[in-house]
Copies of this chain bind each other. A is one copy, B any other.
């Protein structure tokens, strides 16, 4: 029965999760052994099993923490005053600021979600949150007359998710992928898709989008 100070307990749990995340990103969930994680965390098996009752539990813990953080980022989007600015911030955080191993873990979680019930529920919950957030957001923009209602909010959200998935997959799998070069073109696709009423003009002082060098 644990009696260590709750703060210390939580810190240690996080420490183990950090180590596990690194290992899982390096080798995948099922090619990583508990010993690997113990070594990475400088913790004995017995100690690890105080905080996680099984490997599956540890995987679920990783998924839980990762997806929660992801959801928290998106939650900000819904309250943002400027949709495009907020979206760029999220994209920048995920694709530029985050370590590569974060994207690797997201990939791992996505794949695992198709086979592991617990991870599946966590993943699906966040995915649906993101999807419905976009839909609500687009609906509001349509209602406010900020974008031309050429498509339903649901359709827009669907296509948006697909494009996001594409960037997500390629950034994780293709080491040669040049995100900086691709973003402007994708942004223009999104712009044409949303077709906002202010269109070309009036946006922040930025060079005309969609003209990637080369």
Tell me the minimal C-beta distance from A132 to chain B in angstroms: 13
Which residues of B have CB within 8 Å of A189? Answer: 159, 189, 192-193
Question: CB distance A151 to B111 under 8 Å?
Answer: no
Judged by a CB distance under 8 angstroms, whether A173 is at the interface is: yes
* Shortest Cβ gap from A171 to chain B (Å): 9
A26 to chain B: closest residue by CB: B115
Nearest CB of chain B from residue A177's CB, rounded to whole Å = 9
Chain B CB within 8 A of A57 CB: no
In Å, the complex CA distance between A27 and B28 comes to 13
B114 with A212: CB separation less than 8 A: no
The 8 closest A-B pairs by CB, nearest first: A166-B166, A162-B166, A30-B30, A165-B166, A30-B31, A165-B169, A169-B169, A155-B212
Verify if A158 is at the interface (C-beta below 8 Å from B): yes
How many copies altogether? Answer: 2
Contact B114 A172 (CB under 8 A): yes
Q: Given contact pairs A155-B181, A162-B167, enumerate 13 new A-B contacts (beta carbons under 8 Å).
A: A28-B30, A108-B111, A110-B173, A111-B111, A127-B174, A150-B210, A158-B182, A159-B182, A159-B185, A161-B166, A162-B166, A162-B182, A165-B170
Residue in B108, B151, B163, B175 whose CB lies within 8 Å of A163: B163
A165 to B172, CA, bound (A): 11
Which residues 7-40 of A have a CB within 8 angstroms of B?
A: 26-28, 30-31
Is A111 within 8 A of B162, CB to CB?
Answer: no
Residues of B within 8 A of A182 (CB): 155, 158-159, 162
Find A210's partner among B110, B151, B158, B185 (CB 8 Å cutoff): B151
In the assembled complex, A152 has its CB within 8 A of some CB on chain B: yes
* A109 to chain B: closest residue by CB: B173
